[in-house]
Structure 1
């Protein structure tokens, strides 16, 4: 049996404890995902009735941050589905969570590049049957960069963008080239293993973890689960090495056609709130008068607002989408 097959079986066995999680093959990579659907849709499915045909309804796709996983959307998915009537999808990006981590690939098909991350998200939607739907993209940190890259590359597919603590400049999306080379080497992986095993999840991404419900019993363990999974440190190293950031802001004119909600915490230690304001101002520069571009700051909150202030984050998203008639 190949290593890939052993890894798949192991991941399936570990993830089996959560009945809400599922696997699907995307570009020959076993991908872990969850879907939240409105309660009235669930009832129809239980009664073996077809779902209503709602061509105007987009699908909502959530893309988590670096070193995160789909768990980060736990408190948003079902309430968002109920409030909007949309199906809400979250998945573990390659290298994270329970998604398979390839240790070899064909030339030109490196799954750890940002370009591959964009194509992967599109293929996931197609595999799940949402290929004809417009997409509301909710991205956190580097997930926001992928969301914007999808909008730039596939504008006809995108409905709107919701960016949480977005990392949109190359310098904010990862280490500089020299550090990428070092961390992408064998010694670099040993360093990553030592640091991540000790410090993951990074408390600096929050305003105050003591105020978060179930931090020690749920949140922290959910972020630490991948530490025990096959190829975790290798895949993180490969991602750092190959995930060369796209230029988002130089393509800002292409983003102006989409409604954009930009959410930050006032105590974002990863990217200061003033820096976010500067980036947002640069993003909206030259936008037409009718463009819908909003920036909101959540008080007493760090980089991951969906973790630390889920209700405030949810309220902003729902209000934004309702004003877009979703």
Structure 2
């Protein structure tokens, strides 16, 4: 058996400070994830009893934004598990958090493309034993575009979509192509190193950073810890170098067959709320008659509602899922 790479050993040693975090191998990449399960499931496991088989219960998968990590869902996972009886999973996407950053890959298996992110999420669920379950996909920003494309490519797996500040247009999913090319070079990495350490998380993400719970003591450190991990800047450069936006809206006729909650902040500085409203109204035109599509705007909130208004987001999510009989 070959020895684990230095990168894997270091990632595991840094991540072990959080006892809830776990690693799983997904397509030869060590992925960092967390699972929240209802307390009564924990009690059964502690008593060495088998978990009840509930085929009607979906699993909930949370997908974070670019330069974020699974930490962004810290206020939502356990409450969602308790309210719905579902298992709730979050993970660090490739390039982010404590998930491994490959330095080489086979031809046709580049892990840093947007399409690879779609397949990675599905393979993660399979590796964790949830491959036969329907999935409630909760995605924020670029995580929402990946969620929609999972529904496009794997519609048989999807239960419903919850989209927070979604980046559905190509121009909203990442930097312009020229910027991507520059950031994907060695000089671009140097720029990223200086800029991210100084400005991450970007104040522009929020309506008011002073309103974000534990911003200085918890949020800022959890964004910046990954900057110190092996191959962070190389991976971000590869992400930009190979970045091709997902064609989400041209295929919206597929994901519109699922219940959708579209939730935005009124002060989203990346995609203006009026643009979100326009996209949603276009979706309504093409939606089937029995479609369950809901649109919510949170006041005094920016691009990341789950961080700036965690309780309000949680209340809306739980209400939506309960009305879907989850």
Tell me the TM-score range normalised by the shorter chain: over 0.9
What's the counterpart of residue 123 of structure 1?
123
Shift of 1:218: 0.7
The separation in 2 between residues aligned to 1:203 and 1:298, in whole angstroms, is 18
The separation in 1 between residues aligned to 2:213 and 2:292, in whole angstroms, is 34
What's the counterpart of residue 298 of structure 2?
298
Verify the 8 A CA contact 1:63 1:90 in the aligned structure 2: yes
Gaps of 5+ in 1: none
Verify the 8 A CA contact 2:134 2:159 in the aligned structure 1: yes
Shift of 1:121: 0.5
- Structure 2 residue matching 1:285: 3-state secondary structure: helix
What's the counterpart of residue 27 of structure 1?
27
Shift of 1:3: 11
What's the counterpart of residue 208 of structure 2?
208
Report the number of matched residues: 326
Q: Report the TM-score, using the length of structure 1 for normalisation.
A: 0.98
Shift of 1:175: 1.5
- Structure 2 residue matching 1:25: 3-state secondary structure: strand
Shift of 1:203: 1.1
Cα displacement string for residues 5-63 of structure 1 (whole angstroms, at most 9, x for unaligned residues): 00000000000100000000000000000000000000000000000000000000000
RMSD of Structure 2 on Structure 1 (CA): 1.3
Verify the 8 A CA contact 1:173 1:245 in the aligned structure 2: yes
- Structure 1 residue matching 2:71: 3-state secondary structure: helix
Verify the 8 A CA contact 2:94 2:100 in the aligned structure 1: yes
- Structure 1 residue matching 2:253: 3-state secondary structure: helix
The separation in 1 between residues aligned to 2:99 and 2:88, in whole angstroms, is 18
Shift of 1:284: 2.3
Shift of 1:213: 2.1
Verify the 8 A CA contact 1:4 1:102 in the aligned structure 2: no
Matches within 5 A, 1:51-200: 51-200=51-200
Does the C-alpha gap of structure 1 residues 12 and 243 become closer, same or farther in structure 2, counting only changes over 3 Å?
A: same
The separation in 2 between residues aligned to 1:155 and 1:64, in whole angstroms, is 21
The separation in 2 between residues aligned to 1:312 and 1:87, in whole angstroms, is 21
What's the counterpart of residue 247 of structure 1?
247
Shift of 1:4: 6.9
- Structure 1 residue matching 2:30: 3-state secondary structure: strand
Cα displacement string for residues 67-100 of structure 1 (whole angstroms, at most 9, x for unaligned residues): 0000000000000000000000000000000000
Gaps of 5+ in 2: none
Cα displacement string for residues 138-168 of structure 1 (whole angstroms, at most 9, x for unaligned residues): 0000000000000000000000000000000
Verify the 8 A CA contact 1:163 1:261 in the aligned structure 2: yes
The separation in 2 between residues aligned to 1:229 and 1:132, in whole angstroms, is 34
Q: Report the TM-score, using the length of structure 2 for normalisation.
A: 0.98
- Structure 2 residue matching 1:187: 3-state secondary structure: helix
